Chains A and B, each alone.
Chain A
Amino acid sequence: MSRTLYPYPVLFGRPELEITRVRVDGRQLDFAKISHSQRSVALDGIGGTDDEKWQTATLDVRATLPEEEIADGPWSELHCVAVLEEAATETRIVRRLIKDRASGTWQGSVPLHRSRHRSRATLGVQVVAAVGDVRGRLIGRSENDWVLDLQEQLPVRDKEIDIVEVDFRDGPHVWLRPFKDAPWFIETDGDMPTVYLNQGVDGLGLLLRGNGGPAEKATAALVNAQIVSDAWVTMFHAAAGDLETDEDGNVRVPPGWRESVLLAMLPDVLPGLSPTDALHELLARREDGDGWSTLQARVQYAASLRAQLPKQLAATLRATTLASEGATR
């Protein structure tokens, strides 16, 4: 709520939300899947087989509000609600929390129906009160919301791109067969980008793990950097291609990995512009075609930075120079 002004008084302190317990279809969720320090819950990999997918998870929550500030302020008819939402599926569930006299916290439970969500839902708390004559005004909301991830097995906040090693020619993915000579392939159509490493290329997996002497390690690092650089370029273009404008003229980025990739790379691709300005510029260049080719060079540059290519290359050069010196000694 910073840099946003409200025509009525709002809370200065922030409400905080804790998830105390999670039950999935009535059974208690293993506490290892709930991380309080990262404020995330992992909801995949529960139960034995993949066939029995769970239906509903119930989250028991507890919220602390800045009580002294509320008591002193001009607000009345206070309500505290927990809000569970996912932008991708346009789901929004609101549950009222009841104040527990003993501990002074607001408690309640929120249902999460698996059928209504795709990948990540966020859970936060909002405080609503009557100010002046108007009821139901939002006077405060939590800052760090919880992330409930239906696709992760461990509760982490950062998502990782999938890396899969298969044989392109003989493997399970038929559509990879045309690319059987490529050492790797980056696919950006799904929910998360996936890097496929071709096991058909002998020794690639071993090389990438970099076991062995300094020369092997240096080569491994270089090849890794190459793959990562390719991945970032591909992801960037896939994300840039999905940009749209809405009626107001704002640029809309599809949420999820596309937003992360663009925000990560735009400062290097189009330096000196604020994120919003850079998105506009990107869209303009894509549609007008003017300046698009000069952008390519910069995209390449930004991707190589993210892959730490300069650093790996320098290390390789050092290693090979030393090796050759050692040979002549």
Chain B
Amino acid sequence: MEPGEEFGPWLGRQLQRQNLTQAGLAAKVGVTRAAVSAWITGRAQPRPETIRQIAEAFGTDLTTVYTRVEDAVPAHAVTWYHRPAHADGGREFGNPAAFAFDADLGVLAREATQNSLDEQHDPTHPVRVRFTLHELTGEQLANFLDALQWNSLKAHYHAAASSGQKVSRALADGLRELESSGSLLLLRVDDYNANGLTGPEYGDGRFAAVVRRQLDNHKVDKQRAGGSYGLGKATLWAASRFGLVLINSTLSEPHEGRTARRVIGRLDLPWRQVGGEAFAGPAWFGEPDSDREFPGVSRSWWAVEKETADLHLEREGDAPGTTFLVVGAQDAAALAAGDDGLQAMHDKLCDSLSENFWAAMTGTADVPPLLQASVRTLRNGKELIPETHVSPDERQPALARALRAHLNGTTVEEITSLTDVVSRTVPLTVPPLRSEGRGAQPVTHEAVLLVTPAVDNDLRPNEMVSMRGNRMKISVRRPRDLGVGVEPFQAVLLAGFATGRTGSDVGVAETFLRASEPPEHDRWEYTEELATAYVRGARRRLDEFRAAADAALRSVVGIRAAAPADGSPPELLRKLLQLAPGGSGPAPRRRGRGHPVIDDIDGSVDESGAWVLSVRIAVPQQDDACRLVAVPHIGVDRADSGARVRWRELTAMENCAVDGDVVVVAPGVRSAAFTGITDVDSHPVAPGMASVSVSLRKAEEGSTRS
């Protein structure tokens, strides 16, 4: 009996589903109860004729019994199981792990993607992550809530929302909004080429760590992993207004002989009382377990396609990985700003992915990227915002270029052009662990600093990004002491596994740096873990590392003041004798403009070829009337150039008077306007062939200046 599940467990489950005892089956098939028991424990196998009878007994076909990739008997109806209240009377009014994070889509994108990266299944291909915002209204919403058995939850929600605690208020808001707006926002996070939620239902394993336990950091390759406290998944529940997340996983290793469509839902509510019974926090959506140990508890079930489709959980293809569906997605910042627009959320996800994972998304022809990410937005199944593939070259071009040069081995020693990437080594001395005992030696690890000139559309130049492990961004610093007027640059510091090297020092350095990170994993500092695990001097090593990185950076971009051959002239003299090309000098004291200027010119060429211009001027506070001559110029290249021409007509429009060729502005007037028509005969070129501008002069007493 070949593929699919082992016959024994499969048979056992079919019996449970039908509520048939071993004796009952034995009678139907015409064997002894002992024989059935032997089948179930795997000690014996039934004969081919008997298999046909077993198939009949279950009302299914032979193929199903032979291949055992499906169940012969449909599952017991899926239902919600709520954990009963504690026997000791204790109550939790919220999930503490969820409080560690704000409901923030940016943080969720970071944590969820980091977890997906840490679970990479096939290292020769990238992990694909896709975020989908899906708004449901009307009939689609009703169908979804039905599939979710929302009605059975209502009583629990209302009970939880009425307790007056902080969590309850948020729940109450969410429920009210659902009723009034008739729309619900789902956020779906898919990963492909990840391990999926493998392992047993309740015992140690990925599944239990995510679904049933708090703070269980079950990562197989603990060394390379980004996160380390198991807090990350709490962001998913924190992002749901209703504390409700559905999960569909395709497993990389079979469980119960199956891999596809392992589905379960989990709900986190505070303590509540419903129908006279008290319930503690979590609840699970699944098949009632007929296992004697956990009777009635909802466990994951192997869903059929229709079920996953109704719950909007259907995955594409059969690559392993997990789909999380956050029901009622929210973003605290967007709510506070009053803008929960889908475009804003879509952009926020893109920005967070790009900012945190540009390095993982960078690859070369020989070294594929670790991650591919995209974001899309749907409404009732139709695409609202097209799928955006997050590209590091678009958003962080200089950083991506730096990393690519490192992966390709095309870094240089000195910068000679805009696209060069310089590589320098930065030593990190890792102190020995306390557990290694006396005589243990420190280990030197060579981290890599990459520096490249920044391009114009880099939003934040002059920063050093530090990373380790799976190219996870740890911190972004703005180093000082580089000298004023440094040319804009971007720098990346790669440590541990991020250097791409192998060697015993790499793992040691990685562990050391990981121990120096706080729960948020956003800097390297002196932590408790560091103090207890390593010998004295760990803190100094970290400081030395930071200083060495700064020194390496300075050696590349720092201003080398050109020392003149002889002693330099006195400093103060030099400073005061500076000339700017435009001519503002060393002491541009801000004083008001003391003279009238042109504020605005507008106009066009009329049929006769003359320019018809309306001019607005701004005049400073004066005690006397201001007499100005406005002179039009044709063929203007710079200010006040071009040939002067005459006015045919000059008319005052606002706040001024015209006296011959002079515009008179009364004292106290700040702004005036007039129109003028040029005299075509005085134009040096054909009409419509040259530009025009107007300049202002103070009028001389008596005659106008020539």
Which of A157, A161, A306 meets B587, CB within 8 Å? A306
Check A21/B417 contact, CB under 8 A, given A161-B579, A273-B594.
Answer: yes
B residues in contact with A147, CB < 8 Å = 581
Where chain B touches its partner, the secondary structure class is: loop
Q: Are A267 and B586 in contact (CB under 8 A)?
A: no
B residues in contact with A161, CB < 8 Å = 577-579
A residues in contact with B697, CB < 8 Å = 276-277, 280
B residues in contact with A159, CB < 8 Å = 578-579, 581
Number of residues on chain B facing chain A (CB within 8 A): 65
Q: Are A165 and B591 in contact (CB under 8 A)?
A: no
B357 within 8 A of A: no
Check A274/B596 contact, CB under 8 A, given A260-B581, A260-B582, A263-B583.
Answer: yes
B residues in contact with A157, CB < 8 Å = 580-581
8 Å CB interface, A124-155 against B: 134, 147, 153-154
A residues in contact with B574, CB < 8 Å = 160, 163
Check A31/B415 contact, CB under 8 A, given A7-B689, A163-B574.
Answer: yes
Stretch at the interface among B88-96, B425-433, B635-643: B635-643
Q: Are A224 and B570 in contact (CB under 8 A)?
A: yes
In the complex, what's the smallest C-beta–C-beta distance from A240 to chain B, in angstroms? Answer: 14
Check A154/B580 contact, CB under 8 A, given A30-B416, A31-B416, A210-B572.
Answer: no
In the complex, what's the smallest C-beta–C-beta distance from A16 to chain B, in angstroms? Answer: 8
Question: What CA separation (Å) do A163 and B567 show in the bound complex?
Answer: 11
Check A208/B644 contact, CB under 8 A, given A158-B578, A249-B705, A260-B579.
Answer: no
Q: Are A308 and B587 in contact (CB under 8 A)?
A: yes
B560 within 8 A of A: yes
**Closest A residue to B636 using CB positions:** A4
Q: Are B572 and A224 in contact (CB under 8 A)?
A: yes
Number of residues on chain A facing chain B (CB within 8 A): 67
Which of B594, B644, B687 meets A271, CB within 8 Å? B594
Q: Are A7 and B691 in contact (CB under 8 A)?
A: yes
Question: What CA separation (Å) do A7 and B611 show in the bound complex?
Answer: 9
Question: What CA separation (Å) do A250 and B116 show in the bound complex?
Answer: 72
B62 within 8 A of A: no
Q: Are A37 and B485 in contact (CB under 8 A)?
A: yes
A residues in contact with B636, CB < 8 Å = 4
Q: Are A305 and B587 in contact (CB under 8 A)?
A: yes
A residues in contact with B576, CB < 8 Å = 224-225, 228, 306-308
Q: Are B562 and A257 in contact (CB under 8 A)?
A: no
A residues in contact with B420, CB < 8 Å = 31
In the complex, what's the smallest C-beta–C-beta distance from A44 to chain B, in angstroms? Answer: 11
- Which interface residue of A7, A36, A164 has the most chain B CB atoms within 10 A? A7
Check A3/B693 contact, CB under 8 A, given A228-B577, A274-B597.
Answer: yes
A82 within 8 A of B: no
**Closest A residue to B454 using CB positions:** A36
Question: What CA separation (Å) do A120 and B580 show in the bound complex?
Answer: 13
A residues in contact with B687, CB < 8 Å = 7
B residues in contact with A307, CB < 8 Å = 576
B-contact bits for A3-27, CB 8 A (1 contact / 0 none) = 1111110000000101011000000
Sample 16 A-B pairs with CB under 8 A, ordered by A number. Answer: A3-B598, A4-B692, A5-B603, A5-B691, A7-B604, A30-B416, A31-B420, A158-B578, A208-B572, A260-B583, A264-B579, A264-B584, A274-B597, A276-B640, A306-B586, A307-B576
Q: Which 9 A-B pairs have the closest CB atoms?
A: A263-B583, A264-B585, A163-B569, A260-B583, A161-B577, A274-B595, A260-B579, A272-B594, A7-B688
